[in-house]
């Protein structure tokens, strides 16, 4: 593999703790790959190995065709690495900091490239500010500008939206998508799964150092089950008592076998078989509702989320509070 990232049976052991246990995946040029899981899953350790910051105990990893152990200098030239904790020198200005990294990468116009990277990340008006005076969100933007300053073919971004306000998070996610569209191989590590659904084309879900699932986003999400139809009527609305018989008749007409269950005040149609599909059944159900003069308060087809797939794979439990919440 000449470009992108290739990881094969990666292992990292600290004393008696196996932080990464046989992890394998690849990242292709022009895509965003999500390395996703709860805190402590082994994401940061994997990122640090790929950035040639630490060595693996076993296994192999190539970044832009270079081995992370035997060709560390080549790897570091090829990578834009955003660590989870950036450690910016507080007394240095933004401009001097970005210019320093541009010089370290041997760029012909380090000052110009530093200013360009600052513009890309929305910190051009802070070039004269000392890093120690910046908010957490601005520091994160500067660290991301540093990762992009030499226009590397591979980006390794560990929790890139950590500490950002909602608008900044959207802007950074859009930037990540643009970098992939320009041909970069982008690996993003995160525990905020709903955010990653916006930008990732493929994902690798890990927990306790092991890969639980990997593949195209839709395939991994589908492991949580088929889409379901959710319907809710206003309390005491006309026809509410006839909803279940109406649904049963509509499902028979659509050829869809399904369980009907109540969830947070809504009736959920959960497919279990038959020749029909949820979308076709939804059209029949809606027609039947309107013919009966019933206007639903909620009518939606809910597709399984990445978070639901992950919780299903690990069985929930201790992960429930650690996924999906932005810090």
Summarised one tens digit per residue, pLDDT across range 262-288 is 776 678 787 776 556 788 888 998 898
* Maximum average pLDDT range among 196-200, 255-259, 311-315, 322-326: 196-200
Longest pairwise C-alpha distance within the chain: 74
Model confidence over 42-77: pLDDT tens digits?
Answer: 999 999 999 999 999 999 999 999 999 999 999 999
Q: How far apart are CA 278 and CA 254, in angstroms?
A: 9
Mean pLDDT of the chain: 88
The percent of residues above 90 in pLDDT, for the chain, comes to 56
The CATH architecture of the domain made up of 5-222 is 3-Layer(aba) Sandwich (3.40)
Question: CATH says 228-302 is which class?
Answer: alpha beta
Higher pLDDT, 327 or 48: 48
Confidence bin at 186 (pLDDT 50/70/90): very high
What are the start and end residues of each CATH 3.40.50.300 domain in the chain?
5-222
Confidence bin at 235 (pLDDT 50/70/90): low
What are the start and end residues of each CATH 3.30.70.600 domain in the chain?
228-302
Least confident span in 26-35, 143-152, 309-318: 309-318
Model confidence over 214-227: pLDDT tens digits?
Answer: 999 988 888 777 78
pLDDT at 88: 93
Contact call for residues 43 and 200 (beta carbons, < 8 A): no
For the whole model, what pTM was predicted? 0.82
Read off the pLDDT of each residue in 190-200 and give the average, rounded to a whole number: 90
Q: How far apart are CA 35 and CA 12, in angstroms?
A: 16
Confidence bin at 211 (pLDDT 50/70/90): very high
**Cβ-Cβ contacts under 8 Å for 38 (sequence gap 6 or more):** 191, 207, 319, 322, 323
């Amino acid at each position: 593999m000449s470009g992108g990232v290739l990881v094969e049976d990666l292992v990292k052991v600290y004393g008696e703790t196996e932080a990464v246990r046989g992890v394998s995946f690849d990242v292709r040029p022009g895509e965003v790959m999500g390395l996703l899981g709860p805190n402590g899953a082994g994401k940061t350790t994997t990122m640090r190995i790929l950035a040639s910051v630490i060595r693996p105990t076993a296994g192999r990893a190539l970044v832009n065709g270079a081995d992370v152990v035997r060709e560390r200098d080549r790897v570091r030239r090829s990578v834009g690495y955003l660590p989870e904790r950036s450690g910016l020198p507080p007394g240095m200005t933004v401009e001097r900091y970005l210019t320093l990294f541009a010089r370290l990468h041997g760029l012909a116009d380090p000052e110009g490239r530093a200013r360009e990277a600052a513009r890309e990340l929305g910190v051009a008006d802070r070039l004269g500010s000392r890093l120690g005076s910046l908010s957490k969100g601005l520091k994160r933007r500067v660290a991301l500008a540093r990762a992009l300053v030499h226009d590397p073919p591979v980006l390794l971004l560990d929790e890139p939206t950590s500490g950002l306000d909602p608008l900044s998070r959207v802007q950074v996610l859009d930037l990540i998508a643009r970098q992939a569209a320009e041909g970069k191989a982008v690996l993003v590590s995160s525990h905020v799964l709903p955010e990653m659904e916006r930008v990732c084309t493929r994902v690798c879900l890990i927990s306790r150092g092991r890969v639980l699932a990997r593949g195209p986003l839709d395939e991994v999400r589908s492991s949580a089950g088929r889409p379901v139809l959710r319907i809710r009527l206003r309390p005491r609305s006309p026809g509410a008592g006839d909803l279940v018989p109406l649904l049963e008749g509509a499902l028979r007409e659509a050829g869809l076998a399904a369980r009907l269950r109540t969830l947070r005040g809504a009736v959920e149609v959960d497919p279990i078989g038959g020749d029909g599909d949820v979308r076709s059944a939804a059209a029949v159900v809606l027609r039947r509702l309107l013919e009966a003069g019933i206007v639903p308060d909620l009518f939606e087809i809910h597709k399984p989320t990445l978070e639901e797939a992950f919780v299903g794979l690990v069985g929930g439990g201790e992960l429930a509070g650690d996924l999906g919440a932005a810090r």
